[in-house]
Every structure is written in structure tokens, then in C-alpha cells.
Structure 1
Amino acid sequence: MNSHLLTKYLTAFKKWFRSNKTQAMSEQQERELLASNIQEYSKELLQKMSENEFFDYIAPLWAMAMWGNKHYQIDNIIEANGMPLLREQFANLIYGSGSIEKRWDEFRSKIKGVGPAIMSELLCKTYPNKYLIWNRKTYNGFTTLEISNLPRYEARLTGKAYERLSMQGREIVHMAQKEGFIEVNDMLTLNTFIWQELQVLPEKYFTSDKAENLLSKSGREDLFVHNDIRDKLAEIGRCLGFRAEVEKKVADGAVVDTIWEVTIGNMGRVIYVFEVQTSGSIDSLILNLMKAETNKAVQGIVAVTDQKQIEKIKKEISALSINGKVKFWDYTEVLKVHESLQFVNESINNLGLVPLGL
């Protein structure tokens, strides 16, 4: 981390805070109120929460801002996971006795449709002195401060990485306090500082050699989380107006990772199938796609993976009936599309043109 840059931006933040004290204090009080509301959800309440209580728990989160109709998205989360599992895993993530690394990774492996932005915001608002909110803005802010080993995409944010980043956040707070910048005193005020002062780099920076050098070696490898990509494909579909589901049976013996479905007039159902390949047998992926293709409603089949495996799959299906029918989507493009749609939806929703569905 570049301590000189940190001091520079903290100084600017203090100046802004003092020049806009009424606004700054109002925003801080709002953040504290939102955190207080989250803290009212005890372990016991999470373990027995109803669907309505679950909605009230996550709908007000900043991470939900991309969804105009929040009921629609939260209903999909409930349908994909079931309330018993949601109760168990949210209670364990927030109040479990294991390490945050293990609780984080277990949640990520078991819960569909809930990513690091929601998880980290809940942890931060429950424990403002301990855990960091991690999202695109925080990534930009940490990049501005030249902090290294940053996971560019949520798919690479393991429990171990999240704890390391939270430690980095606590270090920034400690340095701010030590140097007399009392405006940054916990992770919530750190989040305000990040949003206010550290969104300064042009987009081209994030594809430059300098930005690439800030990534860890593992961050540059073609490693990604299967369930994260599966869930983002579903969210992209919903943003585009499709009914999207994960782990859906589309034919005998074919349960696919994600489908987009729409009913078009007299044509009936039209289904697009997505299979995510991270590791393991390519043969099983090909077999699943071949079975899915037998469903007459399936109009498109897409294999989602990295460039190396795309070439392998193309070679394997060259003599098969699905050759020429399978489309390919690099997982990094999926992540970029999801991020872009998130930005677009948040921007439009902030205009207040459409009721937010609360």
C-alpha cells in the first residue's frame, strides 16, 4: 500500500467532511441506522426467519441496488435454496464459531445466488470494526492505494482472501486514526471514504500493466468458481428479461447449470442452456449438452469456460452431432457483462423512474 497516497486522500476526505458536515453527518447516521437494523437479526432470529423476514434482512442492502424489483430476485434466491438451508447458512456465516475463512467458503459452496457483495455487507454491518465491504468500489479504491494481490473478480474471492482484505481494511483504519483522521474510524466510515475519494482511476487503468502487476499470480490464472459463474449467468438472464434458473432438468439425464427461458407467442417455450466447465471430465459436459439438445424447446446450448478448455471442447465435438450447434462463452466475458449490467441497473434505479419493488 502507498502510505503517501493514503495520507493525500485522507486529507482530501477530511476537507470534504468539514466543508459538507451536515451532509456527511446525515449520511453517516443513515449508515449507522442501517447497520443497527442488521444487528437486530440475532443468530436465533436468523435460524427461524420467515420468507418475509429474509426479504427485510437483505432487500435494504446496497448490494441489492441493481434490482428494481427486489421481490423477484429474492424469490429466486428462496426458490433456488429453500428457507431451511438459507437459515442455516446465514446464521453460520454471521455467527458461526468456525473461522471466517471456513464459514465464507462453506456459504459460497452451498448457497446459490448470493455473492460476496451481499455476504461482506452483512458481515460489515454486523461487525463494523472487523469486516470489510468488498465490491467493485472497494476494488477500485484499493487499486488507487496500490494495494497488491487484489482479486479482480468475485469468483476469486475465497474466505482466505476476504480475511486478508479485511485485515488490510483494518490497517487503513488504524493508520487513519494514528494520523488523526478521526473521520475514518471503522469499516463503515472506511466505505464512505472509499466511495468519496478513491474512485479516481480511469477505466483504462484496470487493463494496464500497472494494474495487472497489482494482481497476485493466482489472480492471473484461469481459476474461477463454478457456482459463482452459474449464478451470474442466471442474473444476466433475469436482467435481460428471461426466466432464469440454475441446476435445471431439461431432458432425461440432463440437469444443466443455468437456463434462460421465455415464452414467445405461438412458438411456446424457448430455452437457452448454459453449462459451466471449470475442471473434471469434458466428456460429461459434452454428454449433458447432447442430452439437453434433444429437448425441442432448447434453441441454444452454450459452454462457459476458459479459452484453454474451449479449444479442447471444440476438438472433442468436431465429429459429433452437436458440432456447430454449441456456442462458447469465455467466463471472463461473463464476469464483465455481469459487472456492466450491475452498473447500468444501479444507475437507472438511482434515477427513481421505476418503483424499487420494496
Structure 2
Amino acid sequence: MNIQKLTLAISEFSKKKKSNTAYYEENWNERKERKEYYQSFTKDKLLAMTEDDFAEYIGKLWSMLIWGNKKYVVDKLISDNGFKKLKNQLVDLLYGTNDIESRWDTFLKSVKGMGPATISELLTYANPQEYAIFNRTTILSYSYLEISDMPKYNYQYTGKKYVEVCKVAKKISLELQKSGATDYDFLAVDYFLWDEVLPLTEKKLSEVVNVSVSPKSEDKNNSKSLHDEIKEKLVAIGELLGFDSRSEVKIATGAVVDAIWEAKIGNMGKAIYVFEVQSKGSIDSLILNLKKAQSNAAVQAVVAVADEEQLAKIISESMGVIDEKSLRTWDSEDVLAVYDSLVRAHESINKLALVPESF
């Protein structure tokens, strides 16, 4: 870690706190209220939650700001995982006796729809002296502070990496305490990163986002591959755009595609957009799946998603096999960039609370 950069950022942060006390107290009090709310839950209280209680519990998280309709997300969590299993897994994550590395990995492997940002936020509220928030702000801020090997893809957010992130948060907390404050737990560290370091980082965003683990170094033992990562992002982009978006869908006889976006057109029918992701290996199955998908009359376009090199091969080898008018290609790096931009836009808009959540 670049201590000089950290010291300078802490100095600026301290000056701003003194010159605009009301602003900083308001933001810090909001964090304290969130912490108090989540720490009011015990193991037994969490297990006794109704679905409505759970919707409130999840809906208050910062990681949920991207969603205007939080009930849709909560209902999907319950449907995909089962409510009893979901609560039991949360109890094991937050109150289990195993080390945090194994609890983290077990949860991510077992629960669908709750990622690192959400579960680390819950962990931080539960025990802000030990567990740090691990999200986009953390990654960009740590990269600015020259902390190496920050993850770029979700499958790289392992329990081992989370332990490393918490150790760094501890160091930052100790440095913040040297500035005179005594209450700098890891939730306060997150506030410091969000308010002071992130703006510095975003000035050089194009440089910072490349400080990451290369996808070529993918560990076969990771619970999620690059292929799964891109597929999940495609589904999320579709949901954020308002489509009925799903993965692993049978679109035609003998064709299960990676993802679809579906839009109903009144009572006339529907329009479907099909996505197939290629991360490595032979492209024959991708081309065959897209060709079969075109036999479905509702399919308006088929999209091959891969890196630049693979896309060139797909375009070449699909000529004469797939209808060129309905074939689209999308660089996988662009998919990640679009997802990130959409998330940030939705977070900003939803903070305005323009539409009541009951709608």
C-alpha cells in the first residue's frame, strides 16, 4: 500500500470534516443507524423472519440501490433458493463458527442472487471491527492506494481474497485513528474510501480498472468461471433494462442458450433476444445453438458474446450457417463496462426516490 497516498487522503478527509461538519455528521449518522438496525438482529430473530421482514432487511442495503423494484429482487431470491435455506445460509454466514474464508466461499457457492457486495455489507454491519465491505468502491480505492491483485470478475471474489481485503481495512482503520478519531471501525473505513478516495480514483478510472487479476489466470477450482460471470452480467443488464431476463433457457429443440431478454408486446406475443457466451474452447456448439435459436419465430436477434479474437472466429465460421441479418456480436469487456455503467446510473437515479416502492 502506498502510505503517502493514504496519508494525504486522510489529511484532506480530516480538513473537509472540520470545514463541513453538518454534512459529515449527517452521512456518518446514517451509517450508524444502519449498523444499529442490522445489529438488532440475532440468529433467532433472523430465522424467525417472515418474507415481509426479509424484504425490509434486504431492501435497506446499499447494494440494493440499483433496483427500483426491490420486491422483485427479494421474491426472486426466495424463489431461486427457498426461504428456509436462504435464512439458514445467512445465519451460517453471519453467526457461524467456521473461519470467514470458508463461510464466505460456502455461501457464494450455495446461494444464488446474493453477491460479494451484498454479503460483505451484511457482514460489516454484523461485526464492523472484523469485516469490511467488499464492492466496487473497495476495489477502485484499493487500486488507487496501489494494493495489487484486486479482483475484476466475481469469481475472483474468493474467501481468501476477502480475508486480505479485511486485513487492509484494518491497516487503514489504524491510520485513520492516528488522525485523532477513536471510532474508525470498518464501516467508517468504507465511508472514508467512498467520500475521499473514490473521487480520486475515478479521475483515472481507465487506468485503475486494469489493475486486476488476468482472466487467463483463472483457477479451475473457483466456483464461477469467466463464462458464468459474463452470463450473469447479461441477465442483470436485461433486468436493469426492464426485460424478463433469464439464463439457461431452452429456446428451441435441442438448444439451451446462455441467456435471453424477453419483452411481451401486449397480447400479441413477445420479442426475444438470445445470447451465447464463448470464453474458451470450440465455437461449434455456440454456432449450432444460435442457428437453432433462429428457428424460433419470436427470436429477433442472436448475439455472440466473446473477446475480440473469438468474435472474429465466430463471424468467419458462422458465415452461411447463421442468418447474418440477425447475428450480433458483443465484446465481453464491453458487457462488463455496460453493466458497471448501468449500475452506477440506477444507483444515482434511485437515490432520488422518484417512484414509490409500492408501485
TM-score normalised by length of structure 2:
0.85
Q: Structure 2 CA distance, aligned partners of 1:82 and 1:220?
A: 32
CA offsets per residue over residues 247-291 of structure 1, 9 Å max, x none?
Answer: 333233433332211112464111112223334554443443333
Preserved contact between residue 222 and residue 306 of structure 1 (Cα < 8 Å) = no
Preserved contact between residue 183 and residue 189 of structure 1 (Cα < 8 Å) = no
Q: In the alignment, what sits opposite 2:53? A: 53
Q: 1:222–1:341: structure 2 CA closer, same or farther, 3 Å change rule?
A: farther
Q: Structure 1 CA distance, aligned partners of 2:343 and 2:20?
A: 29
Q: Structure 1 CA distance, aligned partners of 2:15 and 2:257?
A: 54
Q: Which amino acid aligns with 2:311?
A: I
SS in 2 for 1:301: strand
Gaps of 5+ in 2: 219-224
SS in 2 for 1:241: coil
Q: Structure 1 CA distance, aligned partners of 2:49 and 2:291?
A: 42
Higher relative contact order (CA 8 A, sep 6+): 1
Q: In the alignment, what sits opposite 2:293? A: 292
Q: 1:194–1:212: structure 2 CA closer, same or farther, 3 Å change rule?
A: closer
Q: 1:82–1:330: structure 2 CA closer, same or farther, 3 Å change rule?
A: farther
Q: 1:196–1:183: structure 2 CA closer, same or farther, 3 Å change rule?
A: farther
Q: Which amino acid aligns with 1:294?
A: S
Preserved contact between residue 276 and residue 304 of structure 2 (Cα < 8 Å) = yes
Q: In the alignment, what sits opposite 1:194? A: 193
CA offsets per residue over residues 143-178 of structure 1, 9 Å max, x none?
Answer: 33232222244453222222211211111112332x
Which of 214, 226, 236 matches 1:219? Answer: 214
Does residue 61 of structure 2 align to residue 66 of structure 1? no
SS in 2 for 1:149: coil
Does residue 19 of structure 2 align to residue 13 of structure 1? no
Q: How does 1:40-189 map to 2 (within 5 A)?
A: 40-47=40-47, 49-177=49-177, 179-182=178-181, 185-189=184-188
Preserved contact between residue 77 and residue 113 of structure 1 (Cα < 8 Å) = yes
Q: Which amino acid aligns with 2:166?
A: S
Q: 1:109–1:302: structure 2 CA closer, same or farther, 3 Å change rule?
A: farther
Preserved contact between residue 304 and residue 327 of structure 2 (Cα < 8 Å) = yes
Q: In the alignment, what sits opposite 1:331? A: 332
Q: 1:157–1:80: structure 2 CA closer, same or farther, 3 Å change rule?
A: same
User: Displacement, 1:184?
Assistant: 5.8
Preserved contact between residue 55 and residue 71 of structure 2 (Cα < 8 Å) = yes
Q: 1:279–1:110: structure 2 CA closer, same or farther, 3 Å change rule?
A: farther
Query: What RMSD in Å do the two structures reach over aligned CA positions?
Result: 2.9
Q: Structure 2 CA distance, aligned partners of 1:24 and 1:183?
A: 16
CA offsets per residue over residues 185-207 of structure 1, 9 Å max, x none?
Answer: 21111111112211333646232
Deviates further, 127-136 or 17-26: 17-26
State the aligned residue count: 353
Q: Structure 1 CA distance, aligned partners of 2:72 and 2:129?
A: 33
Preserved contact between residue 47 and residue 91 of structure 1 (Cα < 8 Å) = yes
Q: Structure 2 CA distance, aligned partners of 1:175 and 1:204?
A: 24
Q: In the alignment, what sits opposite 1:237? A: 238
Q: Structure 2 CA distance, aligned partners of 1:70 and 1:64?
A: 7
TM-score normalised by length of structure 1:
0.85
Q: 1:334–1:80: structure 2 CA closer, same or farther, 3 Å change rule?
A: farther
Deviates further, 309-318 or 123-132: 309-318
Q: 1:204–1:28: structure 2 CA closer, same or farther, 3 Å change rule?
A: closer
Q: How does 1:197-212 map to 2 (within 5 A)?
A: 197-201=196-200, 203=202, 205-208=204-207, 211=208
Preserved contact between residue 287 and residue 322 of structure 2 (Cα < 8 Å) = no
SS in 2 for 1:175: helix
User: Displacement, 1:62?
Assistant: 0.7
Deviates further, 11-20 or 276-285: 276-285
